[in-house]
Amino acid sequence: MDTESKTRQAKATGRDIILAIVDNMQEALEPLLYSTLAPSRFDVYLHENDYERVKGILERIRGESKQALDARLEQMNKKPLFGADPIKIEPAQGDWAIRIFKSEEEDFEPGDIMVDSALTTAVTPEFGVGAKTQRVVTVRSRGESRRIKTYQEEAAAAEPRFAKFSYKGRDGQRHESFMTKKDVLVGRGGENVPCDIELVSIEDVSRSHFYLRFDEEKGREFWIQDVSKFGTAVNGKKLEKGQWTLLPSKAVIRLAEKVDLEFEAL
C-alpha cells in the first residue's frame, strides 16, 4: 500500500476516541492503601481532519466515553473468583469531565489521538502538603495506545467548594458535582453551550437550565434563577422563570418535573 493510500485510510473514529480515553484512564491509576484513584478530567486532541469530521457528534462521543469509563470501572471492581476482595477503583473528583480539541501540533497525523488526563490529590494542610495534579499523556495511533509523558503540577491554591449537587443520571448512576465558583450555570451543556456544571441527564433538562449565585456578603446566601424550557422547582415550589429566588442551604431542585437534583451548601 502506497503512502497516499495509508494517509487516506488513517482516521480517528468515535470508537477510537472513546477507547483512547479508557486506555489513558487505566494508564493513570493512582493506587492507595484501601482504594485506587482514577483521573476524572480528560483533554483529548485530534488532527484537524478528524476533528472536522466528528465535530457534529462530539457531545455523543463525550457521553459514550463517560459510559465506557463507568463500565470499565465496574468491570475492574468486580470481585475476583479467587483471593481477597479487590481494592475499589473510583474517580478522584466525582463526575467525569471530557473536553475535545483540535490539535495545533505540526507533526500530528490523521488518526492520532492524544489524551492528557489530570488526577488531583486533596490538600492536606496539617502536613503542609498542597494539592498536586498528576498528568498522564497517552497517544493512540493505529489501534494501539502508549504513554508518552507523566508529570506533576503544583496547585497554586485549593479550589473552593461552596455547595454540592448529587443526582441520578440518565445512565442510572449516582453523580456528584461541586460548585467551585460564586456564579455558575447548570445544565446539560454542549460543545457550543458551555456550562460550569454539566449534568448527565435527559433531553428535557435544558442545556442551560438554571443559574446559581453565592453571595457571601449577605450571610452566605445562595440565589437561583430558572432559564430553562420546562421549568425548575425548589422543594416542590415552581420558580418564576428569569427571577432570582433565595435557595435554602439544603434543598431538592426538580428539573423539568422529572429530575431531582439534591443541593447542599458546604
pLDDT of 121 reads 62
Confidence of residue 158 (pLDDT cuts 50, 70, 90): low
Annotate 103-137 with b (16+ C-beta within 10 A) or e (fewer): beeeebbbbbbbbbbbbbbeeeeeeeeebebbbbb
What end-to-end distance do the CA atoms of the chain give, in Å?
A: 61
What integer pLDDT is reported at residue 174 of this predicted model? 83
pLDDT digits (tens, 9 = 90+) for 232-262: 999 999 999 999 999 999 999 999 999 999 9
pTM of the model: 0.55
Split at pLDDT 50, 70, 90, the class of 33 is confident
Half-sphere exposure of 89 (CA within 13 A, CB side): 22
What cell numbers appear for 106 in the block? Answer: 505540526
**Predicted pLDDT at 119:** 83
What per-residue confidence (pLDDT) applies to 127? 32
pLDDT band of 30, cuts 50, 70, 90: confident
- Three-class DSSP labels, the chain: CCHHHHHHHCCCCHHHHHHHHHHHHHHCCEECCCEEEECCEEEEEECHHHHHHHHHHHHHHHHHHHHHHHHHHHHHCCCCCCCCCCCEEEECCCCCEEEEEECCCCCCCCCCEEEEEEEECCCEHHHCECCEEEEEEEEEECCEEEEEEEEEEECCCCCCCCEEEEEECCCCCEEEEEECCCEEEEECCECCECCCEECCCCCCCCCCCEEEEEECCCCCEEEEEECCCCCEEECCEECCCCCEEEECCEEEEEECCCEEEEEEEC
Averaged pLDDT for residues 52-59: 88
Residue 65 has pLDDT above 90, yes or no: yes
All three cell numbers of 254: 426538580
User: What is the rounded distance in angstroms from the CA atom of residue 91 to the CA atom of residue 70?
Assistant: 9
Grid cell, residue 162, equals 461552596
Domains of the chain from N-terminus onward: 3-154 (3.30.2320.60), 163-265 (2.60.200.20)
Q: Is the pLDDT of residue 190 over 50?
A: yes
Q: According to the model, what pLDDT value does residue 124 have?
A: 41
Q: Which of 173, 31, 39, 28 is nearest to 97 (CA)?
A: 39
pLDDT number for residue 79: 64
pLDDT at 107 exceeding the cut of 80: no
Q: In the prediction, which pLDDT does 202 show? A: 87
Phi, psi of 19 (to 5 degrees): -65, -35
Average pLDDT over the chain, rounded to an integer:
81
